[in-house]
Amino acid sequence: MAKPKDIELLLNKDLLEKLAKFQAIELEDVEIELEEIEFSVGGGGGGIPSALLARMGFEFALIRDSANRITSLLGGPASPMGMGVPQMMPVAPGLAPVAPAAKPTELIPETMGVPVSEYPGSIVEVKLGATKAEGGTRAMSYVIGGEKVLPFFNFQAETPHKPVIALDVFDWPKVPLSKAVKMHFREYLEDTAEWARVCVDKFGAEMINVHLLTIDPLIEDAPPKEALKKVEDVLEAVDVPLSIGGCGDPQKDYAVFKAICENIEGERLLINSVTLDMDIEGTARLVNDNDNCVIAFTSMDVNKARELNRKLYDFVPKNQILMDTTTAALGYGLDYAFTVMERCRLAGLKGDPELNHPMSSGTTNAWAAREAWMKMGPEFAPRELRGPIWETVTGMTLLLAGVDYFMMMHPAAVDALKTIINQFMSNDKPAEPTEWVSVRM
């Protein structure tokens, strides 16, 4: 039933240079519609004019396309269908190996080179929250971003700032939560400020994400004034920086963000989020005029992430923008989330000036995977562990793709990911190799 959609070409500069060799392919009689071809350049665009890039991208698409069409016209499958089609692979052929001149009697000395990467770009630094000295009332503020190499490639460069873990709280007691999560917060569902306080005092939240769901016209349509009061209560209850989440309705979110930005001064709040279908200029001005930060949210699409950032640059300094390219749960599209983030981070490091922002992840989405909460056979028990490990593995995978700001839910997963982050930040080399072969476990 599945049919392939358009193929998106992933091109980088190396490939484009190689492609230049194939310019001579005869395609004179073909009408060209450049707009039809979607491609992305990961190479920072040094040296090759964009028209040429576009042209070469098209040539390549055509070669690939016609090869596919030939295959399908002449009997082969048009292109692979569905998921997880087994791959065939060339395995070493039985070529006669060249006989070694003489067998070595001693180990041949070798030195391992250190892989070098000199990326021209780096990720911008963003400061979240403001202490008294900085004009706010928080006990601490955080700087995230600043990376010059891929996540925790410590042998190439130190990780400048520790990623931050924020816990989610909701202002609507009926928010659907899995049992494993709800059991930790059941008593506080009616009191957003108290819920936030417990997250900080008991579960080590470094920041709090207040999700204002009751403002949703389809839930309670609570007025902006009410939302503002709730945020003020949370600010009073905790001393960590806050992020403010809307309900997903573009008009309503804007109205609520406006009330909050205009009435709460100096706290350097993180507004979650601005999207392509919102009043981008209006939201961006709110963020800029009140010295807050914003999450630019797009749906798993590198080009849309770039487009939204570009639109924001007219109104907000770069160092007030985080990007969130959508988190999908382990088993439910984590591979797409991982790869989009990895591509954004790599592009930013390679010098793409529109993708070099710290990244944010709604890691709580891990709970959308039924394996995280569903009752399953006894061999998969207890589900009280399955959920937290699901959120942890989802978070760790995205940590390795470049996430700097995590929005999470389950206390055990928060604790686990915090530990993992500390382990990655530390450069402790094991003093001795670990003996395991002869160990009775």
Q: Is 4 in the site for another protein (CB under 8 A)?
A: yes
| CB-CB neighbours of 101 under 10 Å | 6
Report whether 43 contacts 348 (CB < 8 A). Answer: no
Chain residues 370-389 in contact with another protein, contact rule CB under 8 A:
370-371, 374, 376-377, 379-383, 385-386, 389
**Whole-number Å distance between alpha carbons of 340 and 333:** 11
Chain residues 314-353 in contact with another protein, contact rule CB under 8 A:
326, 328, 330-336, 338-339, 342-343, 346
Could you say which of 75, 96, 118, 133 contacts another protein (CB under 8 A)?
75
Q: Is 109 in the site for another protein (CB under 8 A)?
A: yes
Per CB under 8 A, the segment of 3-11, 184-192, 256-264, 307-315 that binds another protein is 3-11
Q: Is 103 in the site for another protein (CB under 8 A)?
A: yes
Could you say which of 28, 36, 46, 436 contacts another protein (CB under 8 A)?
436
Per CB under 8 A, the segment of 45-53, 195-203, 285-293, 364-372 that binds another protein is 364-372
Could you say which of 26, 51, 133, 429 contacts another protein (CB under 8 A)?
429
Q: Is 3 in the site for another protein (CB under 8 A)?
A: yes
Q: Side chain identity at 407, as an amino acid letter?
A: M
Q: Is 114 in the site for another protein (CB under 8 A)?
A: yes
Could you say which of 28, 84, 96, 133 contacts another protein (CB under 8 A)?
84
Of 408, 376, 378, 374, give the one whose Cα is nearest residue 393: 408
Angle between helical axes of 383-401 and 411-425 (0-180°, round to 10): 40
Looking at the Cβ atoms of 239 and 307, the one nearer to another protein is 307
Per CB under 8 A, the segment of 125-133, 285-293, 309-317, 418-426 that binds another protein is 418-426
Q: Is 186 in the site for another protein (CB under 8 A)?
A: no
Least spacing, CB of residue 325 vs another protein, in Å: 11
Q: Is 19 in the site for another protein (CB under 8 A)?
A: yes
For residue 103, what are its two tokens? 């067998």
Could you say which of 23, 251, 303, 427 contacts another protein (CB under 8 A)?
427
Least spacing, CB of residue 417 vs another protein, in Å: 10
Chain residues 269-288 in contact with another protein, contact rule CB under 8 A:
275, 277
Q: Is 303 in the site for another protein (CB under 8 A)?
A: no
Chain residues 41-60 in contact with another protein, contact rule CB under 8 A:
60
Could you say which of 67, 78, 140, 183 contacts another protein (CB under 8 A)?
67
Q: Is 63 in the site for another protein (CB under 8 A)?
A: yes
Could you say which of 49, 111, 118, 133 contacts another protein (CB under 8 A)?
111
Number of chain positions touching another protein (CB under 8 A): 121
Please give, one letter per residue, the 3-state secondary structure of the chain.
CCCCCCCCEEECHHHHHHHHHHHHCCCCCCCCCHHHCCEEECCCCCCCCHHHHHHHHHHHHHHHHHHHHHHHHCCCCCCCCCCCCCCCCCCCCCCCCCCCCCCCCCCCCCCCCCCCCCCCCCCCEEEECCECCCCCCECCCEEEECCCCCCCCCCCCCCCCCCEEEEEEECCCCCCCCHHHHHHHHHHCCCHHHHHHHHHHCCCCCEEEEECCCCCCCCCCCCHHHHHHHHHHHHHHCCCCEEEECCCCHHHHHHHHHHHHHHCCCCCCEEEEECCCCCHHHHHHHHHHCCCEEEEECCCCHHHHHHHHHHHHCCCCHHHEEEECCCCCCCCCHHHHHHHHHHHHHHHHCCCCCCCCCEEECHHHHHHCHHHCCCCCHHHCCHHHHHHHHHHHHHHHHHHHCEEEEEECCHHHHHHHHHHHHHHHCCCCCCCCCCCCCCCC
- φ, ψ dihedrals at 127, nearest 5°: -100, 130
Report whether 393 contacts 332 (CB < 8 A). Answer: no
Could you say which of 396, 408, 409, 414 contacts another protein (CB under 8 A)?
396
**Whole-number Å distance between alpha carbons of 103 and 387:** 54
Chain residues 190-219 in contact with another protein, contact rule CB under 8 A:
216, 218
Could you say which of 155, 225, 262, 265 contacts another protein (CB under 8 A)?
155
Q: Is 23 in the site for another protein (CB under 8 A)?
A: no
Least spacing, CB of residue 266 vs another protein, in Å: 31
Looking at the Cβ atoms of 64 and 182, the one nearer to another protein is 64
Q: Is 154 in the site for another protein (CB under 8 A)?
A: yes
Looking at the Cβ atoms of 47 and 133, the one nearer to another protein is 47
Q: Is 85 in the site for another protein (CB under 8 A)?
A: yes
Q: Is 425 in the site for another protein (CB under 8 A)?
A: yes
